[in-house]
């Protein structure tokens, strides 16, 4: 089941993200060296590693993971994280975890 979950997200979600990254490169709002692989790793991390139903961690550890994801995506040329999205990730954690 886990493999199917990952494959679905990579095969279905990553191409959409890839198109957005290419558009950002084309209009100059982003500078992503490898849109395809950046999109894939984004989908894998956001739908597995940041999934509080898969990785049960404390609120503090989850906040650290969200911060790391923000730093990583900025290094990849995709500065997508803002306060609203951070809050959404933390709400997701709260729904699934009591740590």
User: According to the model, what pLDDT value does residue 21 have?
Assistant: 95
Task: Provide the mean pLDDT of the chain.
Answer: 90
The string of pLDDT tens digits covering residues 32-48 is: 999 999 999 999 998 89
Evaluate if residue 97 carries a pLDDT over 80: no
Tell me the average pLDDT across 69-93.
Answer: 88
Exposed, middle or buried, 25 (CB in 10 Å: 0-12/13-18/19+)?
Answer: middle
Exposed, middle or buried, 14 (CB in 10 Å: 0-12/13-18/19+)?
Answer: buried
The percentage of residues in the chain with a pLDDT greater than 90, rounded to a whole number, is 48
Domain 2-96 fold = Tetracycline Repressor; domain 2 (1.10.357)
The string of pLDDT tens digits covering residues 4-33 is: 888 998 899 999 999 999 999 999 989 999
């Amino acid at each position: 089941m886990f493999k199917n979950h990952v494959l679905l997200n990579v095969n279905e979600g990553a191409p959409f993200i890839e198109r957005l990254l290419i558009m950002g490169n084309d209009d100059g709002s982003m500078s992503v060296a490898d849109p395809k692989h950046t999109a894939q790793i984004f989908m894998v991390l956001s739908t597995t590693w940041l999934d509080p139903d898969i990785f049960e961690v404390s609120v503090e550890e989850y906040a650290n993971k969200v911060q790391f994801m923000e730093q990583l995506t900025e290094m990849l040329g995709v500065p997508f994280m803002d306060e609203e999205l951070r809050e959404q990730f933390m709400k997701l954690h709260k729904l699934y975890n009591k740590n």
